[in-house]
Amino acid sequence: MESRQTEHLMVAFILIILLSTGIAVTQEELNFCGTWRHDDGSLTLNLNLSTGCDKISISADKNSLSIHGQITSVCSQSKVMHLDQTGSEESYFCLYWEPLQDHLRLLFEGKDIHLCQPQDLQSSCCTDLSNGPKASEATFGILNGSVMNDVISEKTHAAYTFNGTPIACKALQGEVINKMNQGSARVTVTKDEKMGSTVEVEMEKDFKGFNITPDITGLSAETMTTVQIPSALKEAAQSTKKVVCTFHVNNSKFQEGSAKGSILKVVEITVGNDVIKNLPDPIKISFHHEDIPKTHSRKCVSWDTKEGSSKVNWVVDGCETHKNGTDHTECLCSHLTYFTVLVELEPRPVRHLLALTAITYVGCALSVISCIAIIIFLCRKNKRSKELSVPIHLGLAISLALLNLLFFFTGVLANVEWESVCTWVGAGLHYALLSSFSWMGIEIFHTFWLVYVVFSPSPKPFVWNLVGFALPAVPVGILIAVGDIYGVREVQSVEDSDPYRMCWMKSNHQALLAHYCTNITILVILVSSGFGMLFLVFRKIRARDEWRQNRVAFLSIWGLSCLFGTMWGLTFLDFSKLSVLSDLIRFLACFFTSFQGFLLMLRFCMLDWIRKQAGGSALGSTSSGSTRQHMLQAQEKN
């Protein structure tokens, strides 16, 4: 009697431990996570998988994470992969195994690595995975190993092993469907050859979320799409608790609104006639597709039905794009409608975006400081003399200071919660750019006036201020009144890093038209007239004695190039198909435009030093009087 009570107590004790830790004896799928403790050197993934159904082992040491065993039906892999260094000595990872799809993937520090791609339904599946023996404790290994978020051990072990059992896949598929119907959601699946697969999920009282996958039979890795429904959707639904998810087969009618590129498979998610948006937990849609080259931009989009259901208009509002390699895209969306991934050819993703951003930030900061120094220098100079060129140089310095200051902070302001802030910052940045172009144009016209109209007085400073500061506000004010022009703009990166967000013109058709009508048109006029004025000045002054001094000749042309904005012409050379040359031009354009304020300050300092060395008669002086005097002397010599 006593031995029987002891036996019952032992059984009860074991059951209590299992129930308290939440560890199941067996499970159809594997969801194993842990923290890999390693050193700060290079990390590798050692993969050795073969077909069969025996066991799978996950082990780790100070440099490598190893996955080997036999649980797959058709996948056989043996290779070593390099893993990105995380910057610390601990890295979080999860290993997922889906026996029905023969799909094995590793999530390492947010990056999704597909070790075995999804396949068609096979005859045999390796399932009922049970915990095998753990390896001994170690300094380097797997900490807090868990299955289905239930911790197996809080200690660090060198390896974990899971044993599998073969079972017919058809039987397993039926068992999974039965469990779905008996759980917190009842599922109905229908299939239409013309439309596609439709999955209806009835959200019960204890609904905790649900993963929806279309009919597995005939599904390949290129067309795999899964939808993860959050529990928050049940609370947001009003008229019904039934979620309908349709995986469309024919995308021809959806291509109308994708003139910029092509779309992948379309997924439609609805809850009756309810308009659901701003979900606290977004819906996650995973698109597995063919490799998309890095030169093609891709983003998650949804169908905007504001203009009527008959017109397709794909927008990015309400969706976030997470790129997991070249063959997997995750969309996190906070509303319900049609969803897909839009693959665009234009605008082209930017190569070396991080390096270009760093150069721009450094250049803008240095240019702001330089322009402030120029403003102080010119204000003091303006008090001592009445040179007509000083107010023009001062206006250019002020506009460039405003342009670089706004551009320096636009990346930060683009991430604030208030969209109206970014709208006004984008408008201000556009005004500063147009004002800078206007003052460069004034510099061109003023130099032409001094060189060719030596006997007539130039316009008064207030005229220049009206053209340089007031005139650019007119097109900006018109565009603000039109609306939907300024806002958040994302610059995509080829390197799959997060896009650079800035306050500027949006990427819609209205903003693109405004960009070409204002920025591009004015820039073409500015650069062409700048180069033309450089040529005319060169012809006029090449016979002067000062021109024979090489440093004076160089500084004159270089300084006038800065004033006339001719370096902006490099932006038109970015259409080269040679990637190396295109990258070089892009870096040069980025450097010269962002460091323009610093280069102007350098010009003023060098010319002031040369003027003092030459007794105030050096070419390129900011003095309109000295320039006019040189022109008269040149005419007398002729």
pLDDT of residue 474: 95
256-265, 358-367, 439-448: lowest mean pLDDT where?
Answer: 256-265
Angle CA 148–149–150, to nearest 5 = 90
pLDDT of residue 428: 95
**For the residues 623-637, what does the mean pLDDT come to?**
38
Instruction: Give the C-alpha separation, 282 to 230, whole Å.
Output: 7
3-state secondary structure of 577: coil
The torsion defined by the Cα of 289, 293, 296 and 299, in degrees rounded to 10, comes to 30
**For the residues 391-403, what does the mean pLDDT come to?**
92
**For the residues 277-287, what does the mean pLDDT come to?**
89
256-265, 582-591, 594-603, 623-632: lowest mean pLDDT where?
Answer: 623-632
- pLDDT above 90 for 404: yes
- pLDDT above 80 for 33: yes
Eight-state DSSP code of residue 507:
S
Is residue 214 reached through a cis peptide bond, with omega within 30 degrees of 0 on the bond before it? Answer: no
- pLDDT above 80 for 90: yes
- pLDDT above 80 for 325: no
pLDDT of residue 579: 56
pLDDT of residue 306: 63
pLDDT of residue 389: 82
Tokens standing for residue 514: 């405004």
Contact 109, 162 (CB under 8 A): no
Eight-state DSSP code of residue 520:
I
Tokens standing for residue 199: 């999955």
Tokens standing for residue 314: 């794909």
pLDDT of residue 323: 80
- pLDDT above 60 for 69: yes
Instruction: Give the C-alpha separation, 289 to 472, whole Å.
Output: 47
DSSP one-letter string for 244-304:
EEEEES--GGGGGG-TTEEE---EEEE-TT------SS-EEEEEE-S---TTSEEEEEEE-
Write down all domains in the chain, each with its CATH number in brackets.
19-172 (no CATH), 183-344 (2.60.220.50), 353-637 (1.20.1070.10)
**For the residues 528-540, what does the mean pLDDT come to?**
80
Model confidence band, residue 398 (pLDDT cutoffs 50, 70, 90): very high
3-state secondary structure of 309: coil
- pLDDT above 90 for 375: yes
Model confidence band, residue 88 (pLDDT cutoffs 50, 70, 90): confident
- pLDDT above 60 for 554: no
Give the side-chain half-sphere CA count within 13 A for 412. 6
Instruction: Give the C-alpha separation, 360 to 38, whole Å.
Output: 36
**Percentage above 70 pLDDT, the chain:** 76
Tokens standing for residue 122: 């096979």
pLDDT by residue (tens digit) across 145-158?
888 777 888 889 99
3-state secondary structure of 219: coil
pLDDT of residue 181: 42
pLDDT of residue 402: 95
DSSP one-letter string for 334-396:
SS-SEEEEEEESSSPPBTTHHHHHHHHHHHHHHHHHHHHHHHHHHHHHHHH---THHHHHHHH
The torsion defined by the Cα of 499, 504, 506 and 511, in degrees rounded to 10, comes to -150
pLDDT of residue 134: 75
- pLDDT above 80 for 221: no
Alpha-helical segments (H) within 75-199: 169-182
Name the helix (H) or strand (E) containing 198. Answer: strand 196-203
Tokens standing for residue 413: 């302001």
Crossing angle of helices 596-613 and 579-594, rounded to 10°: 60
**For the residues 617-635, what does the mean pLDDT come to?**
39
pLDDT of residue 258: 53
β-strand pairing of 150-157 with 43-51: unpaired
Angle CA 12–15–20, to nearest 5 = 125
In which residue are the tokens 């008669």 written? Answer: 617
